[in-house]
Amino acid sequence: MDSNDNGPSRRQVVGAASIGLAAMAAAPAVAQSSGSTPAGPAKISDPRTKYPKPPFKEQKQPWPGLQSKMDPVPDCGETSYKGNNRLTGRKALVTGGDSGIGRAAAIAFAREGADVAINYYPSEESDAREVIDLIRREGRTAVAIPGDLRDAAFCRHLVAEAVKGLGGLDIVVNNAGRQQSQKSILDITDEAFDATMKTNIYAPFHIIKAALPHLPPGAVIIGTTSEQAYDPSEDLYDYAQTKAATMNYVKSLAKQLAPKGIRVVGIAPGPFWTPLQVSGGAQPDKQMSFGGKTPAGRPGMPAEIAGLYVRAAEDGGSYTTGNVLGAGGGQGQP
Ligand code: NAD
Ligand code: MG
């Protein structure tokens, strides 16, 4: 699907510009839009009716879940995200880029002109293939690097493969996350606690260490944190503290890396409709009413947060570092 399917595509605009002055006079709107401003009014939609509201059908998948099997399938901007050259030539690694929020960021990055490497767990290959195809359809380089982020050696291998496949690296998105709801701390096994810490805290540590020598001034490290960092739920004892850790490393690392010209930015989603929630992340009752308690009355769709990742990464965001950007549906922080 073309990134500009609701307006003139870049190909149409370039084509119009190359067919000569007579044609330009005949199609002034298109000719005038050959700069960076798209033609026509900006789209406006009612957030109340834009996406489904709870109740959702009860659904449960084995971890880590596939978004293609969700009902409704999350909207990650596959047909709606329009790019505007905001990241042309940039080189991005996105963990958890197969589904949900990471998929939306990967699609947006490619539509903005970036080459993108995605990491995912091997059982998510079918979701990941769709993202790889979408990136390639934009004419960008797509690199698929499956593997388990709980393994430090794999994290280092991941960065090396991304640098090799992309020919460098200047956007690193630590987005992958593990969330397994348990009503009681007594039900969290040592192994489960360890897996959550390894995925959400250790993996970003190993990835950032491996990536840093490759990052030029102007590069950005982005961490997906959560409203859970600020307002933790009773059934997310282990997960919520990892999101507080993410929010915290964004702030310390931003201070450490500003003298090197590298920015560090957090993104804090509120409740978003993704596989995380139907593969152990939410209790069944919470999954069915998911997002219903927000003032918005519904969960966010990943397409509604993709723009924040672009904002965090683009050159125009050069003074945004040590900050956390949010999309919370009216509740939560920041
Ligand atoms: P998601 O299930 O689509 O994405 C999570 C991804 O993490 C998976 O696709 C998987 O590829 C990856 N992952 C997990 N464990 C892994 C491992 N051991 N090895 C390799 N990859 C692994 O769900 P999402 O909601 O898009 O999650 C993305 C991020 O957003 C997570 O960090 C999550 O904590 C955060 N978040 C989500 C919500 C929400 O309501 N969905 C809210 C706040 C924050
Ligand atoms: Mg997934």
What's the pLDDT tens digit per position in 198-209? 999 999 999 999
Ligand nearest to the CA of 301: 1
Q: Which residues are catalytic?
A: 239
pLDDT in tens, 43-54: 899 999 999 999
pLDDT in tens, 183-241: 999 999 999 999 999 999 999 999 999 999 999 999 999 999 999 999 999 999 999 99
DSSP type of residue 272:
B
H or E element at residue 161 = helix 152-166
Q: Which residues pair with 146 in a beta bridge?
A: 120
CA distances 112 to 86, 88, 204, Å, are: 5, 6, 25
The CB of 158 under 6 Å from ligand 1? The reply is: no
Q: Which residues pair with 173 in a beta bridge?
A: 94, 222
Helices (H) then strands (E): counts for the chain: 12, 7
Section 26-36 average pLDDT: 39
Nearest CA to ligand 1 atom 44: 226
Of 17, 71, 66, 61, nearest to 39 by C-alpha is 17
Q: Which of the two residues, 21 and 65, has the higher pLDDT score?
A: 65
The two three-digit tokens of residue 109, written as one number: 């990055």
CA distances 127 to 105, 122, 136, 146, Å, are: 14, 10, 15, 12
Helix spans in 167-300 (H):
190-197, 203-211, 237-257, 275-276, 284-288
Mean pLDDT over all residues of the chain? 90
Give Cβ neighbours of residue 135 (< 8 Å, ≥ 6 apart). 106, 107, 110, 116, 141, 142
Q: Which of the two residues, 243 and 27, has the higher pLDDT score?
A: 243
pLDDT in tens, 113-172: 999 999 999 999 999 999 999 999 999 999 999 999 999 999 999 999 999 999 999 999
pLDDT band at 8 (very low <50, low <70, confident <90, very high): very low
Ligand 1, pocket-test mutation among 249, 276, 304, 309, most atoms within 8 A of CB:
276
Q: Which of the two residues, 99 and 38, has the higher pLDDT score?
A: 99
Largest CA-CA distance found in the chain, in angstroms, rounded: 75
Calculate how far, in angstroms, residue 86's C-alpha sits from the geometric centre of ligand 1.
Answer: 25
Ligand nearest to the CA of 100: 1
Q: Please tell me the predicted confidence (pLDDT) of residue 38.
A: 58
Calculate how far, in angstroms, residue 97's C-alpha sits from the geometric centre of ligand 1.
Answer: 9
Calculate how far, in angstroms, residue 276's C-alpha sits from the geometric centre of ligand 1.
Answer: 6
Q: Please tell me the predicted confidence (pLDDT) of residue 179.
A: 98
Ligand 1 atom closest to residue 300's alpha carbon, by position in its atom list: 40
pLDDT in tens, 238-293: 999 999 999 999 999 999 999 999 999 999 999 999 999 999 999 999 999 999 99
Which single residue is written with the structure tokens 């091997």? 122
With the C-alpha atoms ordered 228, 230, 231, 235, is the resulting torsion angle positive or negative? positive
Q: Please tell me the predicted confidence (pLDDT) of residue 333.
A: 76
Calculate how far, in angstroms, residue 242's C-alpha sits from the geometric centre of ligand 2.
Answer: 19
Residue 264 CA to residue 223 CA, distance in Å, equals: 8
H or E element at residue 172 = strand 171-174
Domains of the chain with bracketed CATH: 84-327 (3.40.50.720)
